[in-house]
Amino acid sequence: GSGKSTVCRIFESLSVPAYDADYWAKWLLNHDPELKSGVKKVFGSAAYTSEDVYDRAFVAKAVFQDKEKLAALNALAHPAVEIHCRAWHKAETEKGNLYTLKEAALMIESGSYKHLDFLIVVTAPEAMRIQRVMERDGVSKEAVEARIRNQLPESDKMQLADAIIINDGQHSLVKQVWNLHQKLLKLAEK
């Protein structure tokens, strides 16, 4: 609910490619044979429908009740996404793009931020984030708060950031992205 996707769309309007880790994780869970095999070992064959489509609701219910299964799922999915992202970044660089973005909700928690040259954290007040997620996902305040409790505190993320974009409705996102884009272009040219 901080606005990462919105910020990425602004960067994309400036011709900066953005890797959507959530989208690609879902795709990989349905198309990567090694990942699918690992998920089936952890969750059983019920993790996939009879058409061999990932059953997100089944797995979500299982990990909600068992932190060890959540850790096992993350241990399978995060490395697969990281490998895919690196290949995507290499292909985008070969096309002549000076830099790319990676959009991911748990980038710091998973440790994948360590593979980046520059970390941007998009932040918004907690009440605003909760409201946005409730409206976007049609979930209760309690459900959003439970998600937040499974993430690092915003203040910890901001301490690791190379840049912070404030998405509170008071600061211009376009201006912040434009200024950061100019800085990143200069860094990429070095």
Structure tokens at 122: 């998009």
pLDDT digits (tens, 9 = 90+) for 3-32: 899 999 999 999 999 999 999 999 999 999
**Is the pLDDT higher at 184 or at 190?**
184
Instruction: Report whether pLDDT(100) > 90.
Output: yes
- Mean pLDDT in residue range 87-111: 92
What pLDDT was estimated at residue 8?
96
Rounded distance, CA 58 to CA 47, Å?
6
What pLDDT was estimated at residue 137?
86
Q: How many CB atoms within 10 Å of residue 43? A: 19
What pLDDT was estimated at residue 150?
75
pLDDT digits (tens, 9 = 90+) for 52-76: 999 998 998 888 778 899 889 999 9
What pLDDT was estimated at residue 63?
86
pLDDT digits (tens, 9 = 90+) for 131-177: 998 999 888 898 888 878 778 888 899 999 999 999 999 999 999 99
Q: Where are the alpha helices (DSSP H) in the chain?
A: 4-13, 21-31, 33-43, 56-65, 67-94, 107-110, 126-137, 141-149, 154-160, 173-189
